[in-house]
Amino acid sequence: MARRVDPDSLWSLIDAMGWLLALEGQPDDAARLAGASDAAYGRHGQHRRQPNEERARAELSALLDAALAPERLQTLQADGHHLDAHAAADLTLGPA
């Protein structure tokens, strides 16, 4: 069965998806999602996260900083900038 993803409601959860992947020991994909989240916030004109979103992002960033070298993290985040909400869901949950 195909998964239905509404990008208009999912984009703000990409940091949380990255956090889950980081906890699962997948820091490369988590870093890509961090980049996708930054791009999604920019596309939606949101230059600041809400307090709960800031906390989630801080937790994700701490996990990524502990797992990846700074250069690798930066490269992976840049790679993630092209991911949309559908691709983020696929990366987190597997292809629909």
| Tens digits of residue pLDDT in 10-56 | 788 899 999 999 999 999 999 999 999 999 988 888 888 889 889 99
Residue 14 in domain: yes
Residue 1 in domain: no
Q: The domain containing residue 73 runs over which residues? A: 7-93
pLDDT band, very low/low/confident/very high, at 8 (cuts 50, 70, 90): low
Residue 63 in domain: yes
Number of domains making up the chain: 1
Residue 89 in domain: yes
Q: Model pTM greater than 0.95?
A: no
CA-to-CA distance for 1 and 93, rounded, in angstroms?
13
Residue 2 in domain: no
CA-to-CA distance for 75 and 16, rounded, in angstroms?
20
Residue 84 in domain: yes
